[in-house]
Amino acid sequence: MAVPVGWCSRSAVEIRLLGAVEVIDDEGTPWPVGAPRLRATLATLALRRGRVMSSTELIDRLWGPTPPVTAAVTLRNYVRRLRKVLPTPLIQTESGGYRLTAGQEQVDVERFQELVQRSRTVRGHDLAEAARMLDKSLTLWRGTPLTGVGDCPMLEMERARLEDMYLTVLEERFELRLSLGEHHLIVDEIVAAARTNHVRERLIRQLMVALYRCGRIAEALAAYRVTRDRMIEELGIEPGVDLRNLQQAILRSDATLVEPPPVSPRILADRY
Residue 189's nearest CA partner among 135, 129, 263 is 135
**pLDDT tens-place string over residues 201-221:** 999 999 999 999 999 999 999
In a domain, 197, yes or no: yes
Show pLDDT as tens, one digit a residue, over the chain (272 residues): 333 444 444 457 899 999 999 999 878 888 888 899 999 999 999 999 999 999 999 999 999 999 999 999 999 999 999 998 887 689 999 888 999 999 999 999 999 999 999 999 999 899 999 999 999 999 999 999 999 999 999 998 899 999 999 999 999 999 999 999 999 999 999 999 999 998 999 999 999 999 999 999 999 999 999 999 999 999 999 999 999 999 999 999 998 888 765 555 444 444 43
CATH label of the domain that carries residue 221: 1.25.40.10
In a domain, 6, yes or no: no
Q: Which domain holds residue 229?
A: 182-260
Domain count along the chain: 2
CA–CA separation, 132 and 6 (whole Å): 36
CATH label of the domain that carries residue 98: 1.10.10.10
CA distances from 42 to 49, 64, 69, 141 (A): 10, 17, 21, 18
Collapsed DSSP state (helix, strand, coil) of residue 165: helix
**pLDDT tens-place string over residues 177-194:** 999 999 999 999 999 999
CA–CA separation, 45 and 153 (whole Å): 14
* CB-CB contact of 68 with 50 (8 Å): no
* CB-CB contact of 130 with 123 (8 Å): yes
In a domain, 122, yes or no: no
In a domain, 152, yes or no: no
Single out the residue in 106, 123, 157 at which a domain terminates.
106
In a domain, 130, yes or no: no
In a domain, 250, yes or no: yes
Q: Give Rg (Cα) of the chain.
A: 23
In a domain, 190, yes or no: yes
Residue 20's nearest CA partner among 10, 30, 11 is 30
